[in-house]
């Protein structure tokens, strides 16, 4: 029956404090936290609403929040102590010291570089698949054609979906498995035995590269460059293309994607052009983010594409018969080129790093591109030497 007031039996209690377990609790907590940090002089980032920026004179602080996990980085220790004291006075929180672990990602510092790893999470995936003693493989996917929806139904689709979803989160520090994971995830609704075998190959590859992770280090120049590629009509069932891109800030990989296009392209140039448009859209977001972080870019972002026809289409304002059917939103690439924000340049296929996100590659080429993605073993420890 619950609580009933004797004088007001027909009244209900109004909840003034959000409680764990209620659907509105995360939203109430986020709104309460946002209101408080804004009062302390922070501004909320428009490109990423979970990021708050403090910029007053020479004092700069960035605060990134995910539910109740927070990363705070400041320009000085004095500012850090003052902000931590202010936040601790309002909320029950604990300073865990320098960043070492966040949302399942391990952070190891070596000099001015950081090594991001999910080795423990990867071990858990291998154990969940009961493949602790499996034989490693050199690449996560073979060089044959893409997976088809045909074949025998897999007898445990729940296990397949669980492992596929776990592998998706692993791609946060392992861009080298992005394409192979994307290929199995598009068949999560109805997995086949062939798809299960492809998933097991990814796990075998992870078994052999368990300690690999993403390396971030200092760079001499603050500039963006991107690589984009597309595999025309590669899907054997829908004949849709797979487009991909990867974006570097200086020498550091900061964004990447491998995704099947939503519509069918009538030519390889059209497929590549859509891939360029996706990369330019990501670049626009990154440039706006850097602008809000008070690190504006003064130079145009270079986008490398290995398709000459797509490059001509991006710079030619004339509507041709073969391109008039392409959606108008794709042509915003030309506008950004005219503004001087983006340049589209040609690159030979041998040096097209984005190839690793669109197709299976031979081991030598795969290893070369994986190294270009800064996916490597952790730096050797010199402690005690």
For residues 190 and 237, give the distance between their C-alpha atoms in angstroms, rounded to a whole number.
Answer: 14
Contact indicator for 231, 358 with CB cutoff of 8 Å: yes
pLDDT of residue 384: 44
User: What is the residue-averaged pLDDT of the chain?
Assistant: 90
Dihedral sign, Cα of residue 52, residue 55, residue 56, residue 61: positive
Average pLDDT of span 301-308? 95
User: Phi and psi for 290 in degrees, rounded to 5?
Assistant: -65, -35
Closest CA to 149 of 197, 186, 178, 198: 186
**pLDDT level of residue 115 (50, 70, 90 thresholds):** very high
Average pLDDT of span 320-335? 71
Q: Is 59's pLDDT higher than 80? A: yes
pLDDT of residue 84: 94
**pLDDT level of residue 64 (50, 70, 90 thresholds):** very high
Instruction: Summarize pLDDT for 137-159 with one digit per residue, the tens.
Output: 999 999 987 889 888 999 999 99
Q: Is 15's pLDDT higher than 80? A: no
pLDDT of residue 27: 82
Which range has the worst mean pLDDT, 1-15, 289-303, 319-333?
A: 319-333
Higher pLDDT, 180 or 149: 180
DSSP conformation class of 244 = E
Contact indicator for 337, 356 with CB cutoff of 8 Å: no
Look up tokens 């070596």; give the residue: 110
Q: Which two tokens stand for residue 64?
A: 């990134």
pLDDT of residue 28: 82
pLDDT of residue 257: 96
Domains of the chain are 25-97 (no CATH), 116-208 (no CATH), 220-376 (3.30.420.10)
Average pLDDT of span 114-119? 96
Q: Is 328's pLDDT higher than 70? A: no
Residue 239 region by backbone torsions, left for phi larger than 0, else alpha for psi between -120 and 50, else beta? left
Higher pLDDT, 54 or 330: 54
Helix (H) or strand (E) run with residue 375 in it = strand 375-376
DSSP string for residues in 170-197 = HTTT-GGGHHHHHHHHTTTTS-BHHHHH
At residue 56, the 3 state secondary structure works out as: strand
Average pLDDT of span 12-24? 70
The most confident of 4-18, 85-99, 189-203, by mean pLDDT:
189-203
Contact indicator for 213, 118 with CB cutoff of 8 Å: yes
Q: Residue 129: count other Cβ atoms within 10 Å of its Cβ.
A: 21
For residues 282 and 299, give the distance between their C-alpha atoms in angstroms, rounded to a whole number.
Answer: 16
Look up tokens 């959606």; give the residue: 327
Contact indicator for 245, 221 with CB cutoff of 8 Å: no
pLDDT of residue 217: 92
Q: Is 17's pLDDT higher than 50? A: yes
Contact indicator for 255, 282 with CB cutoff of 8 Å: yes
pLDDT of residue 109: 92
Contact indicator for 73, 61 with CB cutoff of 8 Å: yes
Residue 372 region by backbone torsions, left for phi larger than 0, else alpha for psi between -120 and 50, else beta? alpha
Contact indicator for 224, 297 with CB cutoff of 8 Å: yes
Average pLDDT of span 42-63? 95
Which range has the worst mean pLDDT, 8-17, 31-40, 107-116, 241-250?
A: 8-17
For residues 245 and 231, give the distance between their C-alpha atoms in angstroms, rounded to a whole number.
Answer: 12
Whole-structure pTM value:
0.90
For residues 339 and 217, give the distance between their C-alpha atoms in angstroms, rounded to a whole number.
Answer: 31
The rounded Cα 228 to chain-centroid distance in angstroms is 15
Contact indicator for 239, 233 with CB cutoff of 8 Å: yes
Closest CA to 95 of 105, 86, 104: 86
Which range has the worst mean pLDDT, 3-7, 31-35, 379-383?
A: 379-383
Higher pLDDT, 309 or 331: 309
């Amino acid at each position: 029956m619950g609580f009933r007031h004797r004088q007001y039996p027909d009244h209900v209690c109004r909840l003034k404090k959000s409680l764990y377990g209620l659907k509105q609790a995360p939203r109430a907590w986020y709104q309460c936290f946002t209101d408080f940090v804004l009062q302390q002089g922070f501004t909320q980032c428009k490109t990423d609403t979970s990021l708050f920026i403090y910029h007053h004179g020479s004092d700069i602080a960035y605060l990134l929040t995910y539910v109740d996990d927070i990363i705070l980085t400041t320009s000085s220790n004095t500012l850090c102590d003052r902000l931590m004291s202010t936040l601790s006075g309002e909320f029950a929180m604990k300073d865990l010291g320098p960043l070492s672990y966040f949302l399942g990602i391990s952070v190891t510092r070596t000099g001015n570089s950081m090594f991001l790893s999910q080795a423990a999470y990867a071990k858990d995936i291998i154990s969940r698949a009961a493949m602790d003693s499996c034989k490693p493989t050199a690449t996560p996917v073979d060089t044959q054609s893409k997976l088809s929806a045909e074949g025998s139904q897999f007898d445990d689709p729940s296990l397949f979906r669980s492992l596929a979803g776990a592998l998706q989160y692993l791609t946060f520090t392992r861009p080298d498995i992005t394409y192979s994971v994307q290929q199995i995830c598009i068949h999560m609704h109805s997995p086949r035995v062939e798809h299960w075998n492809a998933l097991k190959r990814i796990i075998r590859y992870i078994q052999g590269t368990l300690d690999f992770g993403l390396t971030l280090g200092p760079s001499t120049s603050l500039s963006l460059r991107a690589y984009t590629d597309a595999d025309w009509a590669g899907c054997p069932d829908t004949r849709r293309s797979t487009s991909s891109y990867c974006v570097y800030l200086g020498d550091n990989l900061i964004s990447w994607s491998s995704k099947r296009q939503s519509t069918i392209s009538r030519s390889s140039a059209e497929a590549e052009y859509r891939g360029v448009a996706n990369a330019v859209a990501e670049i626009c977001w990154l440039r706006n983010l850097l602008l809000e972080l008070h690190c504006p870019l003064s130079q145009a972002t270079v986008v490398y594409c290995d398709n000459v026809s797509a490059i001509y289409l991006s710079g030619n304002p004339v509507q041709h018969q073969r391109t008039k059917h392409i959606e108008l939103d794709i042509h915003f690439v030309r506008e950004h080129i005219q503004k001087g924000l983006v340049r589209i340049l040609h690159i030979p296929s041998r040096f097209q790093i984005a190839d690793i996100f669109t197709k299976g590659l031979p081991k030598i080429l795969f290893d070369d591109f994986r190294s270009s993605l800064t996916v490597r073993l952790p730096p050797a420890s010199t402690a005690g030497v």
